[in-house]
Structure 1
Protein backbone atom coordinates (compact mmCIF):
# COMPACT_ATOMS: atom_id res chain seq x y z
CA UNK A 1 0.00 0.00 0.00
CA UNK A 2 1.28 3.46 -0.89
CA UNK A 3 1.86 6.49 1.29
CA UNK A 4 -0.96 8.90 2.02
CA UNK A 5 -0.24 11.73 -0.44
CA UNK A 6 -2.47 14.36 1.24
CA UNK A 7 -4.06 15.05 -2.17
CA UNK A 8 -6.72 12.38 -1.89
CA UNK A 9 -9.52 11.95 0.60
CA UNK A 10 -8.11 10.55 3.87
CA UNK A 11 -11.25 8.40 4.20
CA UNK A 12 -10.27 6.70 0.94
CA UNK A 13 -6.76 6.04 2.24
CA UNK A 14 -8.14 4.60 5.48
CA UNK A 15 -10.59 2.43 3.56
CA UNK A 16 -7.78 1.08 1.38
CA UNK A 17 -5.77 0.19 4.46
CA UNK A 18 -8.72 -1.58 6.07
CA UNK A 19 -9.42 -3.50 2.86
CA UNK A 20 -5.81 -4.58 2.56
CA UNK A 21 -5.70 -5.68 6.19
CA UNK A 22 -9.00 -7.54 5.78
CA UNK A 23 -7.63 -9.43 2.77
CA UNK A 24 -4.56 -10.33 4.81
CA UNK A 25 -6.76 -11.46 7.76
CA UNK A 26 -4.94 -8.96 9.97
CA UNK A 27 -6.10 -7.99 13.42
CA UNK A 28 -6.84 -4.44 14.54
CA UNK A 29 -3.56 -4.38 16.44
CA UNK A 30 -1.76 -5.17 13.17
CA UNK A 31 -3.69 -2.34 11.48
CA UNK A 32 -2.67 -0.05 14.32
CA UNK A 33 0.99 -0.93 13.80
CA UNK A 34 0.84 -0.85 9.98
CA UNK A 35 -1.07 2.41 9.60
CA UNK A 36 1.82 4.80 10.43
CA UNK A 37 3.98 3.09 7.79
CA UNK A 38 1.67 4.65 5.18
CA UNK A 39 2.35 8.18 6.42
CA UNK A 40 4.66 10.61 4.60
CA UNK A 41 6.94 12.87 6.65
CA UNK A 42 4.26 15.43 7.58
CA UNK A 43 1.76 12.84 8.80
CA UNK A 44 4.49 10.83 10.52
CA UNK A 45 5.59 13.96 12.39
CA UNK A 46 1.96 14.46 13.46
CA UNK A 47 1.81 10.82 14.62
CA UNK A 48 5.11 11.06 16.51
CA UNK A 49 3.77 13.98 18.57
CA UNK A 50 1.18 11.83 20.34
CA UNK A 51 1.79 11.39 24.03
CA UNK A 52 2.39 7.81 25.16
CA UNK A 53 -0.88 5.91 25.64
CA UNK A 54 -2.94 8.79 24.17
CA UNK A 55 -3.98 6.49 21.32
CA UNK A 56 -5.30 3.21 22.60
CA UNK A 57 -6.56 1.35 19.54
CA UNK A 58 -6.78 1.41 15.77
CA UNK A 59 -10.25 3.02 15.75
CA UNK A 60 -8.93 5.84 17.93
CA UNK A 61 -5.96 6.39 15.61
CA UNK A 62 -8.22 6.29 12.55
CA UNK A 63 -10.57 8.90 14.04
CA UNK A 64 -7.65 11.21 14.93
CA UNK A 65 -6.24 10.77 11.42
CA UNK A 66 -9.57 11.66 9.79
CA UNK A 67 -10.07 14.62 12.10
CA UNK A 68 -6.62 16.00 11.34
CA UNK A 69 -6.41 15.41 7.59
CA UNK A 70 -10.05 15.85 6.58
CA UNK A 71 -9.68 19.55 7.35
CA UNK A 72 -7.80 19.95 4.08
CA UNK A 73 -10.64 18.41 2.09
CA UNK A 74 -13.50 20.39 3.65
CA UNK A 75 -13.41 23.00 0.89
CA UNK A 76 -15.20 21.33 -1.99
CA UNK A 77 -13.95 22.51 -5.36
CA UNK A 78 -16.21 22.74 -8.38
CA UNK A 79 -15.49 22.43 -12.11
CA UNK A 80 -15.32 26.21 -12.73
CA UNK A 81 -12.32 26.38 -10.36
CA UNK A 82 -10.29 24.67 -13.11
CA UNK A 83 -10.60 27.79 -15.23
CA UNK A 84 -8.17 29.46 -12.83
CA UNK A 85 -5.41 26.95 -13.59
CA UNK A 86 -3.29 28.61 -16.26
CA UNK A 87 -0.05 27.54 -17.90
CA UNK A 88 2.69 30.00 -16.96
CA UNK A 89 4.70 31.75 -19.69
CA UNK A 90 7.83 29.60 -19.28
CA UNK A 91 6.10 26.53 -17.87
CA UNK A 92 6.56 23.25 -19.73
CA UNK A 93 3.42 21.55 -20.99
CA UNK A 94 4.14 18.50 -18.84
CA UNK A 95 4.42 20.63 -15.69
CA UNK A 96 1.17 22.41 -16.51
CA UNK A 97 -0.61 19.09 -17.10
CA UNK A 98 0.64 17.73 -13.76
CA UNK A 99 -0.60 20.83 -11.96
CA UNK A 100 -3.92 20.68 -13.82
CA UNK A 101 -4.32 16.97 -12.95
CA UNK A 102 -3.76 17.72 -9.26
CA UNK A 103 -6.43 20.41 -9.44
CA UNK A 104 -8.84 17.93 -11.09
CA UNK A 105 -8.41 15.47 -8.20
CA UNK A 106 -9.89 18.09 -5.86
CA UNK A 107 -13.11 18.40 -7.88
CA UNK A 108 -15.90 15.95 -7.13
CA UNK A 109 -18.06 14.56 -9.95
CA UNK A 110 -15.96 16.22 -12.63
CA UNK A 111 -17.47 15.96 -16.13
CA UNK A 112 -15.07 15.17 -18.98
CA UNK A 113 -16.26 18.24 -20.85
CA UNK A 114 -15.13 20.47 -17.97
CA UNK A 115 -11.68 18.86 -18.01
CA UNK A 116 -11.28 19.48 -21.75
CA UNK A 117 -12.53 23.04 -21.48
CA UNK A 118 -10.24 23.70 -18.50
CA UNK A 119 -7.14 22.33 -20.26
CA UNK A 120 -7.74 24.31 -23.45
CA UNK A 121 -8.60 27.47 -21.52
CA UNK A 122 -5.46 27.22 -19.40
CA UNK A 123 -2.93 26.70 -22.18
CA UNK A 124 -0.65 29.62 -22.92
CA UNK A 125 -1.11 31.27 -26.32
CA UNK A 126 0.71 29.58 -29.17
CA UNK A 127 0.43 27.21 -32.06
CA UNK A 128 -0.30 24.21 -29.82
CA UNK A 129 -3.18 25.90 -28.00
CA UNK A 130 -4.62 27.08 -31.33
CA UNK A 131 -4.42 23.62 -32.91
CA UNK A 132 -5.91 21.83 -29.90
CA UNK A 133 -8.81 24.27 -29.60
CA UNK A 134 -9.93 23.39 -33.13
Structure 2
Protein backbone atom coordinates (compact mmCIF):
# COMPACT_ATOMS: atom_id res chain seq x y z
CA UNK A 1 0.00 0.00 0.00
CA UNK A 2 1.12 3.57 -0.74
CA UNK A 3 0.27 6.67 1.21
CA UNK A 4 -0.93 9.91 -0.35
CA UNK A 5 1.71 12.20 -1.80
CA UNK A 6 2.01 15.96 -2.10
CA UNK A 7 0.84 15.87 -5.71
CA UNK A 8 -2.48 14.37 -4.73
CA UNK A 9 -5.41 16.73 -4.26
CA UNK A 10 -6.49 15.81 -0.75
CA UNK A 11 -7.75 17.17 2.59
CA UNK A 12 -4.40 16.96 4.40
CA UNK A 13 -2.42 20.10 5.18
CA UNK A 14 1.02 20.68 3.67
CA UNK A 15 2.69 19.97 7.01
CA UNK A 16 1.33 16.41 6.92
CA UNK A 17 2.11 15.78 3.26
CA UNK A 18 5.66 17.19 3.50
CA UNK A 19 6.54 15.34 6.72
CA UNK A 20 9.45 12.97 6.17
CA UNK A 21 9.02 9.34 7.01
CA UNK A 22 11.75 8.24 9.39
CA UNK A 23 11.68 4.62 8.27
CA UNK A 24 10.03 2.38 5.76
CA UNK A 25 6.82 1.02 7.23
CA UNK A 26 5.35 -2.34 6.43
CA UNK A 27 1.70 -1.44 6.66
CA UNK A 28 -0.38 -4.12 8.41
CA UNK A 29 -3.35 -5.56 6.54
CA UNK A 30 -6.75 -4.31 7.69
CA UNK A 31 -10.23 -4.75 6.23
CA UNK A 32 -11.31 -1.65 4.32
CA UNK A 33 -14.18 0.39 5.79
CA UNK A 34 -17.09 1.03 3.41
CA UNK A 35 -19.15 3.39 5.57
CA UNK A 36 -21.90 0.93 6.50
CA UNK A 37 -20.66 -0.41 9.86
CA UNK A 38 -19.60 0.99 13.21
CA UNK A 39 -16.78 3.55 12.64
CA UNK A 40 -15.47 3.02 16.18
CA UNK A 41 -14.69 -0.62 15.38
CA UNK A 42 -12.66 0.38 12.33
CA UNK A 43 -10.79 3.08 14.24
CA UNK A 44 -9.95 0.71 17.08
CA UNK A 45 -8.53 -1.86 14.64
CA UNK A 46 -6.54 0.80 12.78
CA UNK A 47 -5.05 2.21 16.00
CA UNK A 48 -4.04 -1.23 17.28
CA UNK A 49 -2.26 -2.03 14.03
CA UNK A 50 -0.55 1.36 13.68
CA UNK A 51 0.82 1.16 17.22
CA UNK A 52 2.97 -1.74 16.03
CA UNK A 53 4.67 0.50 13.44
CA UNK A 54 5.87 3.22 15.87
CA UNK A 55 5.00 5.77 13.17
CA UNK A 56 4.51 9.51 13.74
CA UNK A 57 1.21 11.44 13.58
CA UNK A 58 1.65 12.47 9.94
CA UNK A 59 2.10 8.86 8.90
CA UNK A 60 -1.04 7.85 10.81
CA UNK A 61 -2.94 10.45 8.77
CA UNK A 62 -1.50 9.57 5.38
CA UNK A 63 -2.14 5.85 5.69
CA UNK A 64 -5.72 6.13 6.99
CA UNK A 65 -7.37 6.76 3.55
CA UNK A 66 -5.83 3.50 2.35
CA UNK A 67 -8.23 1.67 4.72
CA UNK A 68 -11.35 3.23 3.18
CA UNK A 69 -13.49 2.14 0.25
CA UNK A 70 -16.85 2.84 -1.34
CA UNK A 71 -18.90 5.50 0.42
CA UNK A 72 -16.17 6.14 2.97
CA UNK A 73 -13.56 6.74 0.27
CA UNK A 74 -15.88 9.16 -1.56
CA UNK A 75 -16.54 11.02 1.71
CA UNK A 76 -12.83 11.51 2.31
CA UNK A 77 -12.11 12.69 -1.22
CA UNK A 78 -14.82 15.38 -0.91
CA UNK A 79 -13.39 16.96 2.25
CA UNK A 80 -12.04 20.50 1.82
CA UNK A 81 -8.43 20.74 0.75
CA UNK A 82 -5.90 21.22 3.58
CA UNK A 83 -8.64 20.94 6.23
CA UNK A 84 -6.91 18.27 8.33
CA UNK A 85 -3.81 19.13 10.36
CA UNK A 86 -3.46 16.08 12.65
CA UNK A 87 -4.86 12.63 13.26
CA UNK A 88 -7.23 13.76 16.03
CA UNK A 89 -8.98 16.12 13.62
CA UNK A 90 -9.35 13.27 11.13
CA UNK A 91 -10.86 11.04 13.80
CA UNK A 92 -13.44 13.67 14.78
CA UNK A 93 -14.53 14.22 11.18
CA UNK A 94 -14.66 10.50 10.47
CA UNK A 95 -16.69 9.48 13.53
CA UNK A 96 -19.13 12.42 13.24
CA UNK A 97 -19.93 11.66 9.62
CA UNK A 98 -20.58 7.95 10.18
CA UNK A 99 -22.11 8.24 13.66
CA UNK A 100 -25.46 6.87 12.41
CA UNK A 101 -23.80 3.46 12.07
CA UNK A 102 -22.55 3.36 15.64
CA UNK A 103 -23.88 0.45 17.66
CA UNK A 104 -25.91 1.11 20.77
CA UNK A 105 -23.64 1.53 23.76
CA UNK A 106 -24.84 -1.00 26.31
CA UNK A 107 -24.70 -0.54 30.06
CA UNK A 108 -24.78 -2.89 33.01
CA UNK A 109 -28.59 -2.77 32.86
CA UNK A 110 -28.44 -5.03 29.82
CA UNK A 111 -26.91 -7.78 31.95
CA UNK A 112 -30.11 -8.03 33.98
CA UNK A 113 -31.87 -9.42 30.90
CA UNK A 114 -29.52 -12.39 30.68
CA UNK A 115 -31.25 -15.24 32.49
CA UNK A 116 -30.44 -18.95 32.45
CA UNK A 117 -33.35 -20.75 30.83
CA UNK A 118 -34.82 -23.95 32.28
CA UNK A 119 -32.78 -26.97 31.10
CA UNK A 120 -30.08 -24.66 29.68
CA UNK A 121 -26.59 -25.97 30.32
CA UNK A 122 -24.18 -23.94 32.42
CA UNK A 123 -21.78 -23.77 29.46
CA UNK A 124 -24.44 -22.16 27.26
CA UNK A 125 -25.39 -19.63 29.94
CA UNK A 126 -21.76 -18.65 30.60
CA UNK A 127 -21.20 -18.22 26.86
CA UNK A 128 -24.25 -15.94 26.44
CA UNK A 129 -23.41 -13.93 29.54
CA UNK A 130 -19.75 -13.39 28.60
CA UNK A 131 -20.69 -12.34 25.06
CA UNK A 132 -22.90 -9.64 26.57
CA UNK A 133 -20.21 -8.37 28.94
CA UNK A 134 -17.80 -7.92 26.01
CA UNK A 135 -20.17 -5.31 24.59
CA UNK A 136 -20.08 -3.20 27.76
CA UNK A 137 -17.02 -1.17 28.66
CA UNK A 138 -15.62 -0.47 32.12
CA UNK A 139 -17.68 -3.06 33.97
CA UNK A 140 -16.62 -3.53 37.61
CA UNK A 141 -16.07 -7.13 38.66
CA UNK A 142 -18.68 -6.79 41.40
CA UNK A 143 -21.37 -5.81 38.89
CA UNK A 144 -20.49 -8.80 36.68
CA UNK A 145 -20.50 -11.13 39.69
CA UNK A 146 -23.88 -9.95 41.00
CA UNK A 147 -25.61 -10.14 37.61
CA UNK A 148 -24.13 -13.53 36.75
CA UNK A 149 -25.23 -15.05 40.04
CA UNK A 150 -28.67 -13.42 39.87
CA UNK A 151 -29.22 -14.73 36.34
CA UNK A 152 -28.64 -18.37 37.26
CA UNK A 153 -31.77 -20.51 37.26
CA UNK A 154 -33.37 -20.77 40.70
CA UNK A 155 -33.21 -24.57 40.54
CA UNK A 156 -29.59 -24.63 39.43
CA UNK A 157 -27.48 -26.98 41.60
CA UNK A 158 -24.45 -24.87 40.68
CA UNK A 159 -26.10 -21.76 42.16
CA UNK A 160 -26.87 -23.65 45.37
CA UNK A 161 -23.31 -24.95 45.62
CA UNK A 162 -21.80 -21.48 45.09
CA UNK A 163 -24.02 -20.04 47.82
CA UNK A 164 -23.08 -22.92 50.09
CA UNK A 165 -19.35 -22.32 49.49
CA UNK A 166 -19.84 -18.58 49.95
CA UNK A 167 -17.98 -17.75 46.77
CA UNK A 168 -17.45 -13.98 46.84
CA UNK A 169 -15.14 -13.01 43.94
CA UNK A 170 -15.66 -13.07 40.17
CA UNK A 171 -12.40 -14.91 39.55
CA UNK A 172 -13.33 -17.65 42.00
CA UNK A 173 -16.85 -17.90 40.56
CA UNK A 174 -15.60 -18.35 36.99
CA UNK A 175 -13.02 -20.91 38.08
CA UNK A 176 -15.74 -22.89 39.83
CA UNK A 177 -17.99 -22.60 36.77
CA UNK A 178 -15.22 -23.98 34.55
CA UNK A 179 -14.67 -26.95 36.87
CA UNK A 180 -18.42 -27.57 37.13
CA UNK A 181 -18.84 -27.56 33.33
CA UNK A 182 -15.94 -29.97 32.95
CA UNK A 183 -17.37 -32.32 35.58
CA UNK A 184 -20.84 -32.21 34.00
CA UNK A 185 -19.54 -33.13 30.57
CA UNK A 186 -17.17 -35.83 31.78
CA UNK A 187 -19.70 -37.50 34.06
CA UNK A 188 -22.73 -37.04 31.80
CA UNK A 189 -25.17 -39.97 32.03
CA UNK A 190 -28.30 -40.87 30.16
CA UNK A 191 -31.36 -39.53 31.87
CA UNK A 192 -34.85 -40.29 30.55
CA UNK A 193 -36.77 -37.06 30.15
CA UNK A 194 -40.19 -38.59 30.83
CA UNK A 195 -40.98 -39.96 34.26
CA UNK A 196 -43.27 -42.84 35.02
CA UNK A 197 -42.03 -45.21 32.33
CA UNK A 198 -43.27 -48.68 33.17
CA UNK A 199 -40.85 -51.48 33.92
CA UNK A 200 -42.34 -53.48 31.07
CA UNK A 201 -41.39 -50.67 28.66
CA UNK A 202 -37.79 -50.70 29.94
CA UNK A 203 -37.61 -54.46 29.54
CA UNK A 204 -39.03 -54.28 26.04
CA UNK A 205 -36.47 -51.59 25.17
CA UNK A 206 -33.65 -53.85 26.39
CA UNK A 207 -34.98 -56.71 24.29
CA UNK A 208 -34.92 -54.42 21.27
CA UNK A 209 -31.27 -53.58 21.88
CA UNK A 210 -30.35 -57.25 22.23
CA UNK A 211 -31.88 -58.01 18.86
CA UNK A 212 -28.99 -56.19 17.15
CA UNK A 213 -30.82 -53.03 16.17
CA UNK A 214 -33.56 -54.75 14.16
CA UNK A 215 -36.28 -52.23 13.40
CA UNK A 216 -39.04 -54.81 13.41
CA UNK A 217 -41.28 -54.73 16.43
CA UNK A 218 -40.76 -57.54 18.84
CA UNK A 219 -43.33 -58.71 21.32
CA UNK A 220 -42.91 -61.22 24.10
CA UNK A 221 -45.48 -63.20 26.01
CA UNK A 222 -44.70 -64.21 29.55
CA UNK A 223 -46.45 -66.75 31.78
CA UNK A 224 -47.24 -65.19 35.13
CA UNK A 225 -48.51 -67.02 38.15
CA UNK A 226 -51.23 -65.19 40.07
CA UNK A 227 -53.29 -66.17 43.03
CA UNK A 228 -57.04 -66.39 42.56
CA UNK A 229 -58.39 -63.72 44.91
CA UNK A 230 -61.83 -65.31 45.00
CA UNK A 231 -60.51 -68.46 46.64
CA UNK A 232 -58.43 -68.30 49.76
CA UNK A 233 -56.97 -71.11 51.73
CA UNK A 234 -53.97 -73.28 52.11
CA UNK A 235 -53.00 -75.54 49.28
CA UNK A 236 -54.88 -73.46 46.72
CA UNK A 237 -53.25 -73.73 43.31
CA UNK A 238 -52.06 -70.62 41.52
CA UNK A 239 -53.43 -69.88 38.09
CA UNK A 240 -51.28 -69.09 35.12
CA UNK A 241 -52.13 -66.38 32.64
CA UNK A 242 -50.43 -64.90 29.60
CA UNK A 243 -49.36 -61.27 29.53
CA UNK A 244 -48.09 -59.32 26.53
CA UNK A 245 -46.45 -56.06 27.54
CA UNK A 246 -47.34 -52.90 25.71
CA UNK A 247 -44.39 -51.15 24.05
CA UNK A 248 -44.11 -47.46 24.87
CA UNK A 249 -41.79 -45.13 22.96
CA UNK A 250 -40.74 -42.22 25.14
CA UNK A 251 -37.56 -40.84 23.52
CA UNK A 252 -37.82 -37.52 21.68
CA UNK A 253 -35.71 -36.45 18.72
CA UNK A 254 -33.13 -34.61 20.81
CA UNK A 255 -32.61 -37.67 23.04
CA UNK A 256 -32.06 -39.79 19.92
CA UNK A 257 -29.66 -37.15 18.54
CA UNK A 258 -27.56 -37.21 21.74
CA UNK A 259 -27.27 -41.00 21.72
CA UNK A 260 -26.43 -41.21 18.01
CA UNK A 261 -23.85 -38.39 18.21
CA UNK A 262 -21.83 -40.40 20.74
CA UNK A 263 -21.02 -43.00 18.07
CA UNK A 264 -21.40 -41.09 14.79
CA UNK A 265 -19.74 -37.72 14.02
CA UNK A 266 -22.49 -35.14 13.47
CA UNK A 267 -21.91 -31.52 12.45
CA UNK A 268 -22.94 -28.77 14.86
CA UNK A 269 -26.30 -27.20 14.10
CA UNK A 270 -26.34 -23.95 12.09
CA UNK A 271 -26.89 -20.79 14.15
CA UNK A 272 -30.42 -19.47 14.62
CA UNK A 273 -31.07 -16.92 11.86
CA UNK A 274 -33.46 -14.71 13.82
CA UNK A 275 -31.77 -11.73 15.46
CA UNK A 276 -31.33 -12.12 19.21
CA UNK A 277 -33.42 -9.02 19.99
CA UNK A 278 -36.43 -10.52 18.17
CA UNK A 279 -36.33 -13.94 19.86
CA UNK A 280 -38.44 -15.17 22.76
CA UNK A 281 -35.82 -15.41 25.52
CA UNK A 282 -38.14 -17.50 27.68
CA UNK A 283 -37.81 -20.41 25.23
CA UNK A 284 -34.60 -22.47 25.09
CA UNK A 285 -33.48 -24.99 22.48
CA UNK A 286 -31.19 -27.73 23.80
CA UNK A 287 -30.12 -28.61 20.23
CA UNK A 288 -28.91 -25.08 19.34
CA UNK A 289 -27.98 -24.27 22.96
CA UNK A 290 -29.60 -20.90 22.42
CA UNK A 291 -32.86 -19.06 23.05
CA UNK A 292 -35.70 -18.41 20.62
CA UNK A 293 -37.75 -21.60 20.53
CA UNK A 294 -38.19 -24.82 22.49
CA UNK A 295 -36.42 -28.00 21.52
CA UNK A 296 -39.60 -29.82 20.48
CA UNK A 297 -40.38 -27.07 17.94
CA UNK A 298 -36.85 -26.95 16.48
CA UNK A 299 -37.24 -27.11 12.69
CA UNK A 300 -33.55 -27.92 12.13
CA UNK A 301 -33.67 -30.90 14.50
CA UNK A 302 -36.79 -32.27 12.82
Q: Could you state the TM-score of these two structures normalised by the residue count of structure 1?
A: 0.57
Which is higher, the Rg of structure 1 or of structure 2?
2
Aligned partner of 2:146 among 94, 117, 126: 117
User: Structure 1 residues 51, 96: CA separation in 2 closer, same or farther (over 3 Å shift)?
Assistant: closer
Contact 1:87–1:122, Cα closer than 8 Å, also in 2: yes
Work out the CA distance in 1 between the residues paired with 2:116 and 2:122.
Answer: 8
Work out the CA distance in 2 between the residues paired with 1:118 and 1:106.
Answer: 15
What's 2:184 paired with? Answer: none
Contact 2:65–2:73, Cα closer than 8 Å, also in 1: no
Work out the CA distance in 1 between the residues paired with 2:63 and 2:74.
Answer: 17
How far has the Cα of 1:122 moved from its partner?
1.2
What's 2:161 paired with? Answer: 131
Matches within 5 A, 1:1-134: 10=41, 11-21=43-53, 23=54, 27=59, 28-33=61-66, 35=67, 47-48=69-70, 50=71, 53-56=74-77, 63-64=93-94, 67-68=97-98, 71-73=102-104, 75-77=105-107, 79-124=108-153, 125-134=155-164
What's 1:44 paired with? Answer: none
Contact 1:76–1:107, Cα closer than 8 Å, also in 2: yes
Higher strand share: 2
Work out the CA distance in 1 between the residues paired with 2:73 and 2:44.
Answer: 27
Aligned residues: 117
How far has the Cα of 1:14 moved from its partner?
4.0
Contact 1:55–1:61, Cα closer than 8 Å, also in 2: no
Unpaired segments of 5 or more residues in structure 2?
1-27, 80-86, 165-302
Higher helix share: 1
